[in-house]
């Protein structure tokens, strides 16, 4: 089972989220795949090799040792031990396919994680609440609330009015 909230963001909103993370937590960001171990880790969203990639957020207050592996086909590097890691995932909104994003954490997994779940849940809740508090609008889609961040809300309203 995972904890998640549905969000709608633009690149401008995503940058605001990254700024929030860096100003409030000791977080490291990484992307799904890169050409080297060093390139997996990103400072900002401009470093993403795929603009619609899922961004992983590691709160470094929770000890974890990333394990790297390579894809067999393209020899791209990825972190292979994220399932039990103290990591929150940010799936970015894809405006080309009109698919909203989400922020989620795989809370219950088959094996116990290597970190304190209750403390990490407090971190996740702060992040989720930041999205809910800073959303300019909330739209129910398929019985699920989608929280629209400021720039995404403007874009949504333009489409609704068109």
- Where do the domains of the chain lie? 3-161
> What is residue 158's three-state secondary structure?
helix
Whether 69 and 78 have beta carbons less than 8 Å apart is answered as: yes
pLDDT at position 162: 55
The CA distance from 105 to 26, in Å, is 17
The CA distance from 57 to 54, in Å, is 10
pLDDT at position 47: 77
Judge residue 34's burial from the number of C-beta atoms within 10 Å of its C-beta, 0-12 exposed, 13-18 middle, 19 or more buried: buried
pLDDT digits (tens, 9 = 90+) for 11-65: 899 999 999 999 999 999 999 999 999 999 998 887 777 766 789 999 999 999 9
What predicted TM-score, i.e. pTM, was given to this entire model?
A: 0.88
pLDDT at position 36: 94
Helices (H), the chain: 11-24, 37-40, 117-134, 150-161
């Amino acid at each position: 089972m995972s904890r998640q909230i549905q969000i709608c963001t633009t690149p401008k909103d995503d940058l605001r989220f990254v700024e929030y993370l860096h100003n409030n937590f000791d977080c490291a960001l990484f992307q799904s795949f890169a050409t080297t171990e060093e390139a997996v880790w990103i400072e900002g969203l401009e470093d993403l090799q795929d603009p619609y990639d899922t961004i992983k957020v590691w709160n470094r207050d929770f000890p974890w040792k990333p394990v790297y592996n390579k894809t067999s086909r393209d020899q791209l590097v990825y972190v292979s031990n994220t399932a039990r890691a103290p990591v929150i995932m940010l799936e970015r909104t894809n405006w080309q396919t009109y698919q909203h994003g989400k922020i989620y954490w795989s809370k219950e997994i088959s094996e116990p994680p290597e970190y304190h779940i209750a403390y990490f849940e407090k971190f996740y809740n702060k992040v989720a609440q930041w999205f809910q508090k800073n959303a300019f609008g909330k739209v129910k889609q398929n019985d699920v609330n989608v929280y629209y961040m400021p720039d995404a809300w403007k874009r949504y309203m333009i489409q609704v009015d068109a």
